[in-house]
Amino acid sequence: MRETNPLELEFDSLDAALADGWQLVDIRTAQERLQLPVPAPHRWVPMDEFLRAPVDPGPGRHLVICAHGVRSLYLAQWLQAQGFAQVASLRGGLAGLGIGH
């Protein structure tokens, strides 16, 4: 794991994030998920659902993922402002891992 800022983490793979104790939360739209499924165990909560009403991600550390890391960073910042401390964004998103490209 490489940390670029406290809210953005960089991993070599989704499996590496899971092995490090992170739970993956996919915030992409249903359309994006159909086009490119996440190839690892994860929870799906669309970003707009989080923003409509805070969704408690539950216990543990949560790594928020999206296509390119922009939405996930925004949501990680928003979730921390809501009081969820154990949350981070996957830097570069799925594209940063070469998934889907």
Q: Tokens for 32, please give them.
A: 């994006």
55 in any annotated domain = yes
For residue 14, the enclosing domain spans: 2-96
Structure confidence at residue 1 (pLDDT): 60
Domain count, the chain: 1
SS3 of 73-96: the string is HHHHHHHHHCCCCCEEEECCHHHH
Structure confidence at residue 57 (pLDDT): 77
| Residue 56 DSSP one-character state | -
* pTM exceeds cut of 0.85: yes
Instruction: Judge whether 47 and 69 are in contact, CB under 8 Å.
Output: no
Taking all residues of the chain, what is their mean pLDDT, rounded to a whole number? Answer: 91
22 in any annotated domain = yes
* pLDDT-above-70 percentage for the chain: 95
Structure confidence at residue 53 (pLDDT): 82
Instruction: Judge whether 29 and 46 are in contact, CB under 8 Å.
Output: yes
Rounded to an integer, what distance in angstroms lies between the CA atom of residue 64 and that of residue 34? 18
pLDDT less than 70: residues of the chain: 1-4, 101
88 in any annotated domain = yes
